């Protein structure tokens, strides 16, 4: 591990030297590439420097203790040595985590699909609340949301919603959210006070660009139709809505939120490309079964991942057995504690997998 860290530190110093070369600044492409590499290496370099300072402190304290005779000074050195040794394990663990292979999709934007599941109107209402939860979380992180497609129920719920979240690291934070979300409560639609269970399905997909996945337009069929929905200018008056069918897979994407047919077509293509890219990633994960089992959350849409229990005011993530009694805060977008715990559990599992492999 430390040989690799020394190599990365040497590379960081090379990058910094190149960035200081006036000739590099005149090449925007080269300069941008070096700046990205510098940004990627910096957390690891800083962590390694902290570790090396810690090890130097330990060595110096041990050396000085051998020669020191003054009891008061020896007590100070022992305290300093004890603190440094306590920090050493944490610093080494941090380095191991930073050296884990990075998911190449982590910095991507995400396309989120939410579908009402079992529970009829109550499931649709729950789906709309889950949509709001992610929209609020995006707002907390200063990410931008853009609605791609929406199919509403008659009482204000969502049968299906597809939207884009754009922002640095969006996929790295939201990638564990795919799966079945379950709610337990007395429904607004229920006159008798019985607790019902309803579900919705969440799919988190990295936004795929053309460079990630080449989509053959010859395999696509476009149909246009008149937009439906709440009234307003240009709604129901022009054939602006688009239905995109991917013939090989049978996937159908409908977009009608824009007044422009061209914009709706672009949105539909973006969703289709990301969905096909996700399918390709899932296939790769299946081929790497052992690695996938070591991770928290497979992205399987049929996996029940979380329960939102209103009578008890609790949220439980079943994958890591985490229960929080702050349901309303979570539904208002306070997801960091859950996401941080999922990330830590995934990192621990991956580190354990590397130890077993080693």
Determine the 3-state secondary structure of 295 from DSSP: coil
Q: Which residue reads 């050296």 in tokens? A: 99
Residue 105 maps to a domain: no
Indicate if 140 and 210 belong to the same structural domain: yes
The tens digit of pLDDT for each residue in 270-315 reads: 888 888 887 777 776 665 544 434 445 444 556 789 999 999 999 9
Note whether 242 and 324 are same-domain residues: yes
Q: Which of 55, 80, 99 is the last residue of a domain?
A: 99
Among candidate residues 54, 79, 99, the one where a domain is terminated = 99
Residue 142: band (very low, low, confident or very high) from pLDDT cuts 50, 70, 90: very high
Question: Tell me, what's the pLDDT at 333?
Answer: 95
Partnered with residue 123 across adjacent β-strands are: none
Task: Answer yes or no: do 133 and 159 share one domain.
Answer: yes
Count of structural domains within the chain: 2
138 and 184 share a domain? Answer: yes
Q: Which two structure tokens, joined as six digits, stand for 68?
A: 């020191």
85 and 145 co-located in one domain? no
Has residue 357 been placed in a domain? no
In a domain, 302, yes or no: yes
Nearest to 147 by CA among 242, 261, 271, 251: 271
Structure token pair of residue 14: 């090379």
Looking at the domain assignment, is residue 355 inside a domain?
A: no
Q: Give the C-alpha distances (Å, rounded to integers) separating 329 from 4, 192, 264, 274, 313.
A: 43, 27, 34, 30, 10
- Reported pTM: 0.71
pLDDT at 188 over 90: no
CATH code of the domain in which 33 resides: 1.20.58
Task: Provide the domain limits for residue 320.
Answer: 110-349
Strand, coil or helix: 145: strand
124 and 191 within one domain: yes
| Top-confidence residue, 46 or 235 | 46
- Give yes or no: residues 133 and 232 share one domain: yes
Residue 140 domain-assigned? yes
| Interval 18-74: pLDDT, tens | 888 888 888 888 888 888 888 888 989 999 899 899 999 898 888 888 877 888 888
- Whether 250 is covered by a domain: the verdict is yes
Least confident of 87-96, 252-261, 328-337: 252-261
Do 186 and 53 belong to one domain? no
Query: What's the length of the chain?
Result: 358
Q: Which residue has the higher pLDDT, 354 or 95?
A: 95
Q: What is the mean pLDDT of the chain?
A: 83
Q: Is residue 52 part of a domain?
A: yes
- Check whether 170 has a pLDDT greater than 90: yes
Distance between CA 197 and CA 327 in Å, rounded? Answer: 16
The pLDDT assigned to 193 comes to 74
Q: What is the CATH number of the domain that holds 221?
A: 3.30.70.1660
Determine, yes or no, domain membership for 104: no
């Amino acid at each position: 591990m430390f040989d690799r860290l020394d190599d990365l530190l040497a590379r960081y110093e090379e990058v910094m030297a190149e960035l200081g070369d006036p000739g590099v600044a005149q090449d925007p492409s080269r300069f941008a590439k070096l700046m990205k590499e510098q940004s990627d290496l910096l957390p690891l370099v800083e962590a390694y420097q902290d570790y090396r300072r810690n090890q130097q402190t330990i060595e110096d304290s041990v050396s000085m203790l051998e020669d020191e005779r003054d009891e008061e000074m020896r007590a100070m050195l022992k305290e300093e040595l004890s603190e440094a040794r306590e920090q050493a394990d944490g610093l080494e663990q941090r380095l191991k985590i930073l050296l884990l292979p990075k998911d190449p999709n982590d910095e991507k934007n995400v396309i989120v699909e939410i579908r009402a599941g079992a529970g009829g109107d109550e499931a649709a209402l729950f789906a709309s609340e889950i949509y709001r939860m992610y929209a609020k979380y995006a707002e907390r992180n200063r990410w931008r949301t853009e609605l791609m497609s929406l199919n509403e129920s008659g009482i204000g719920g969502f049968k299906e919603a597809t939207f884009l979240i754009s922002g640095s690291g969006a996929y790295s934070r939201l990638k564990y959210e795919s799966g079945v979300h379950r709610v337990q409560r007395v429904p607004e639609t229920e006159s008798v006070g019985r607790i019902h269970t309803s579900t919705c399905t969440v799919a988190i997909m990295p936004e795929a660009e053309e460079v990630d996945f080449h989509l053959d337009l010859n395999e696509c069929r476009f149909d246009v139709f008149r937009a439906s929905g709440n009234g307003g200018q240009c709604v129901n008056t022009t054939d602006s809505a688009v239905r995109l069918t991917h013939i090989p897979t049978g996937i159908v994407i409908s977009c009608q939120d824009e007044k422009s047919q061209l914009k709706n077509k672009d949105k539909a293509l973006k969703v289709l490309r990301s969905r096909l890219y996700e399918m390709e990633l899932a296939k790769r994960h299946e081929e790497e079964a052992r690695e996938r089992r070591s991770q928290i959350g497979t992205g399987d849409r049929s996996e029940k991942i979380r329960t939102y229990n209103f009578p008890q005011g609790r949220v439980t993530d079943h994958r890591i057995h985490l229960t929080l009694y702050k349901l309303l805060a979570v539904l208002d977008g306070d997801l960091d504690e859950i996401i941080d715990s999922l990330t830590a559990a995934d990192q621990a599992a991956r580190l354990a997998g590397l130890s077993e492999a080693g």
